[in-house]
Amino acid sequence: MINSKEAPLWMWVLRLIGGLFIFIILDGIAQLPGTFFKSPVPIIIGSIVLSALILLAYYGWIGLTEGQRATDLPIRRLLPETCKGLLTGVVYFIIVVGIMMLIGVYRITSFDFDGLTQLAQFCFFLTIAVGEEVMFRGIVFRMIDVRWNTWIALLVSTAVFGLVHIVNPGATWWSTLAIALESGLLLGAAYKYSGTLWLPIGIHWAWNYTQGNVFGFAVSGNEFGESIISPRVEGHELLTGGIFGAEASIIAVIVGLLFAWFYLRKICLK
């Protein structure tokens, strides 16, 4: 089997398109439990099982099409890298919301916590993180990086990641650019630095859950159930993100770029 670097361009393009097509479908299927079930238990079980199946499918796809192991899914690094990613995503949004509170555009009005419901939402966001990271980092970034170089891979994967969010509710060209800069660049840099999908999966997972179900923002324009904190968000959309959520805030963009710079600097120093 010819690897991605040495394969003819037509074969490389077919692998890229084929991989994206398959994992877009699998990503949609994996989100069905969170869409159709109201009870937390089937959402929890379905999300975990289907997320694992996506990862197994990715492992199989790389072996089938490239004749090699998926080296970006090392089991021994699953727990430490995922936990680092989760911590990074949580800290990111604590900083963003903390700045919003300091400048007076975010205020906590009440708290409400239902453990089982929150666990279901936490598991649901796992499917989104796994599906999107396999597509945009495992397929798009990795294949471009192997065939050309890291900087082209970062540019293309960042742009594509931002553009796919233009169809989300409340999306604008600004929110699309913001997602690309703060999230697409950060996740791509984290993937390249760690050499694993676990780190960006953890960041993406905590990013979505913390933003939506902890701090009460829309997640890329979508509402995902009850949040632990009920906030009052008032101020210019450039500061709050408006109906799209905190991701469309200039604050989130600046913080995201700083986080991305941290990983980019480490890549350059390797």
Note the pLDDT of residue 204. Answer: 97
pLDDT digit string (tens) for 7-44?
Answer: 788 889 999 999 999 999 999 999 888 878 888 999 99
Note the pLDDT of residue 118. Answer: 95
CB-count exposure of residue 121 (10 Å: 0-12, 13-18, 19+): buried
Note the pLDDT of residue 2. Answer: 63
Query: With 70 as the cut, is the pLDDT of residue 1 above it?
Result: no
pLDDT digit string (tens) for 115-135?
Answer: 999 999 999 999 999 999 999
Note the pLDDT of residue 8. Answer: 85
Note the pLDDT of residue 108. Answer: 95
Query: With 70 as the cut, is the pLDDT of residue 3 above it?
Result: no
Q: Sorting pLDDT into bands at 50, 70 and 90, what band is 251?
A: very high
Q: Name the token pair of 6.
A: 């040495």
Note the pLDDT of residue 6. Answer: 73
pLDDT digit string (tens) for 128-169?
Answer: 999 999 999 999 999 999 999 999 999 999 999 999 999 998
Cα–Cα distance for residue pair 167/216, rounded to 1 Å: 21
CB-count exposure of residue 17 (10 Å: 0-12, 13-18, 19+): exposed
Q: Taking residues 236-256, report their average pLDDT.
A: 95
Note the pLDDT of residue 221. Answer: 85
Dihedrals phi, psi of 26, to nearest 5 degrees: -65, -35
pLDDT digit string (tens) for 106-115?
Answer: 999 999 999 9
Is pLDDT larger for residue 186 or for residue 223?
A: 186
Query: With 80 as the cut, is the pLDDT of residue 183 above it?
Result: yes
Note the pLDDT of residue 270. Answer: 65
How does the average pLDDT of the chain come out, rounded? Answer: 93
**Terminal-to-terminal C-alpha distance of the chain:** 30
